[in-house]
Chain A
Amino acid sequence: MDQAICLHCEAPVSIPGEHTVVIDGKQQPICCEACEIAAQTIIDKGLLDFYRFRDDSSATVTNGSMNLKENSTANADSELARWTGYDRPALQKEFVVVNADGTRTAHLLMHGVRCAACSWLIERGIATIDGVESIAVNPVTTRTDIQWEPKRIRLSQILGQIACLGFTPYPHTEDEIERVAADERRKSLKRLIVAGLGMMQVATYAVALYAGAFQGMDPAIEKFLRLISLLVATPIVLYSGAPFFRGAWHDLQIRNPGMDVPVALAIGAAYAASVWNTLIGHGEVYFDSATMFVFLLSIARHLEMVGRHRVLGLSDALARHLPRVATRLVDGEPREVGVMELVCSDLVLVNPGQTFPADGHLEGNDVQVDEALLTGESQPILKSAGDRVVAGAVNQRIAATFRVDRVGAATSLAQINHLMMAAQKEKPPIVQIANRVASRFVTGVLLAAIVVGTIWWIIDADRAFEIVLALLVVTCPCALALATPAALTVATSVLARRGFLIRRPGALEELNRVTDIVFDKTGTLTDRNVMLRRTETFGAIDEEHALQIAAAMESRSEHPIAAAFSAIRVSLDVDQITAVPGEGLEGFVGGRLYRIGTLGFVAGLSAQSAPQLDESAQTARTVCLGDEEAIMARFELAEAARSGAAQTVAALFRSGITPMIASGDRESSVRAFAEQLGIEICHAELKPADKLLLVRKLQDAGQTIAMVGDGINDSPVLAGANISIAMGSGTSLAQHSADCVMMSENLTTLIDAFAIARQTISVVRQNLIWAVCYNIIALPLAATGMLAPWMAALGMSASSLLVTANALRLNHARRVDVVMSESTGLSHPRSSAEPA
């Protein structure tokens, strides 16, 4: 696009020169009032570095207008006034802590923080305000802690300032899951530190003792060193090692020995024998082995836990946080109530920048909402009266009213969270197998230990204990048990962060086997945007001029149809545009009155009957343009391919998966669309049952089918396919039974999913092969007495660490790089997000 780009939000500027800011004497283009306020605030505070440092690869800042009213009365003052509700003590009780010195600390989440520069901007911008003691913004979780002096400044003033910078603060109240996770993290870290520091001490004493064994040592000193080792090792074994003993006890109770049993046995036996030998004053001590074992295993456990918590945090901490207050309209009067008090059929007012507190249907005017929390898609979506809105979506520009029909746990948002939690609890078959194998393996190891111990007892009773200990430690199936779940956990979390939810355990394995992928067309390969397919002119006007007029008028509209004209650069003056809902637009372009919209509406202006249009025109979506004299042009619109569709198809071909279309639509339009995307096989005019038949036929031919559909009308075929992927609309989640839900609007996510599934399976395979090979080599070595217990501890722990680290590699799985080029010749509809 050769249009000027807004300095602040980087959206194209529709009316150059209307808004600008001055930097170093140079005028910089700004797209709208809201961005101007944000940019001016940034300049005034001397924070221009923000524009230099912000991360260009991320989506940069959200369009500033999301925080501000669209109309021209929006200004910094009204922005500040909006937050006064947060000064109410009743509300502050939920997220504000009063410190001992009289200052207060608020816990907030920031909507719109995308990178380190954003957090830097907020920190620098707010810390300079008089009365603000401290502020810290985490750029990853967007969690923000602000400490302020209530006598000098009100919280609402601080929040208003943040909003002026272009971010939306939300109160952050920790929920139970988060609290438990944070608690677990802290405890694990404490255990790790005790084990680590202690282990190092014990190891130095052990070195002294070993040296003493060779060079001779004063018996008093030797005794002293052993006692000190006992002293230091005790908290390590009893405190840091406690989870292993607890796990083993639990395993024994359910009679299903897991990896904790040999671990606890080894640690316990080594410790007990060492304590006994220390007290009686002779014999070996193994404090060094026991503590090293505890420490290294704790590291592996800690890493595994960090991976698990990433999954927890993936739904974007914001998603779990709905607003605390809502504005209920009672007889047209707005009244603030707690969200908990909302009931079905309440009429609720949602101001721009605020979050919908419940699910419901929109009433009144069209609004734009940002459903990024649910779909991962940052482009706002236009909704008109009667459309569903979901809790967690953010209202963009003009106040919306909606009728509540689902609250609390019944909302889509709550259901998504519930599904995620449920999916995590279920154990996929591949993990179940691994656990079963590990359990049998443990039983085998325990038996082997008894046999080896007995044999060595006969050969050399002195060494028997040491060898059994080494055997137990070295063959601990930790790596085996960790290999699969670690990889799956990481992969699930990575995919979820990219807008692809795995709902059925085992879906990742299945994705890896897919040979053919069947797409539904409407709603799957296409999206709600439209593009211009053909222009037809009547009378003297040429096509170029007609398009100019149409684009000029539509540039002031937020209707989805306007997107079809957004690629055309506007050079004409536009004036007095008024929208007639359901009909079109009327207004002056270059001083002449025009109408654009439905045939009847446009014909109404010139009071002329419509020109004879051919038959096909009646079915296609068309928009007419006319002035006071005649109808001048007709624009034929077509469904636009979903963003990334062509790239996805190309990438599928490259990875050897055959894409095909199965649609209920007419043959001609399906074929045209398939050609446009480069799909060779397409089946048109299919009923849902025919689609299922098609899938069955392919399956009989030995193919593994993935079906991508929009969930509801495709449900039979989704159920019939080997793996089903539903396009998540956010509203029908509870209904569809798909294995995976694609929350992202961009189809390339699918390619990501396939790529990550492939990597995951190969990581699992690597891990299992490693774990098995390791044990095959280590067992005989330990049984023949070639390994000292400390070597065993080192080897086994290194093996577990290796497996976990290998799984964590998936975290950095590269996003499939597809340039959003116009290679398919599609117009790139963006203007629905553009401020007018």
Chain B
Amino acid sequence: MQQKSLTFIARQAPYGSNKAKLVIDAALAAAVFEQKVNFLFMDDGVFQLVQNQNAESISSKTIGRALETLELYGIEQALVDSVSLEERGLSAEDLAISVKILNVEQVRQLAASSDVVINL
């Protein structure tokens, strides 16, 4: 199968809707088909990365486990938009998994160089 570079953009907070989970599932599916997958957290999507979440209190699954599977499925490029972090008063120390922080220009380059950008 022809390999393409796909960039998934997660822009939703984790529990208000099922969209956050949906984007992760879509990215994992792409990774299974041995595509080159980038996963970018942007806007409210950066809230998915916050440490010490426990969604049992609202009868949901904590998103951290799902995020950890990204690496297991070979998605090495977990990325986060620096502007979105700053806007929400978050920094690298607040994050639950290791992600690469991209500046404005790097985010633009990522979108430009990807064959497909999936923005759910």
Do A and B interact with each other, yes or no? no
Q: Chain B residues in contact with chain A, CB under 8 A? A: none
Chain A residues close to B by CB (< 8 Å): none
